[in-house]
Amino acid sequence: MSTSQEFDHSRLQILGPVECLGLLGSVPLGRLVYTYAGLPAIRLVNFVLDDDTIVLSTGQGDKFRAAERGDVVAFEADAVDLERHLGWTVTAIGHLSVATVEESTELRHTLPMHSWLPMDDPQLVRMGIESVHGRRLVPWGQRPRSR
């Protein structure tokens, strides 16, 4: 964590890009937000972070078609401690793409990729992170006072 902390108007700590990527890489589940029939769709997915790229395995459905089109999507992951009222959330924005056969082979050998769901002919889909933002809910004593 950085020594100088910035907070937003809600007194949530603003996280920098490096910390956001570190937090994304620390959890196995996130939410992919994409467009389906002209409306937002949100799906819980397991994923792996590869530098600044989110990699997930999917079937031939809606997420795969969004990747074939190169759609702009959002991705969100978080961790929350319900008892202590602490946690963080990170949101990334980028374009989806389908990994080529060669890329998929390499990614499957270098990343701990596995789907939580049984799938016939799973495809690897990537989201290159173009922007990333995060917030952390810190203990009361570490929050700035209201103005």
CATH, residue 80: 2.30.110.10
For residue 44, the enclosing domain spans: 6-138
pLDDT computed for residue 32 by the predictor:
97
Query: Could you tell me if residue 18 is inside a domain?
Result: yes
The rounded distance, in Å, linking the Cα atoms of 113 and 67 is 18
Query: Could you tell me if residue 1 is inside a domain?
Result: no
Report pLDDT digits (tens) over 23-56: 999 999 999 999 998 999 999 999 999 999 999 9
Where residue 70 falls (left for φ over 0; alpha for ψ -120 to 50; beta otherwise) is left
Query: Could you tell me if residue 110 is inside a domain?
Result: yes
Please give the tally of structural domains in the chain: 1
Report pLDDT digits (tens) over 78-127: 999 988 889 999 999 999 999 988 887 787 777 777 666 655 667 899 99
Helix residue ranges, H only, 72-111: 101-110
42 with 32: CB under 8 angstroms?
yes
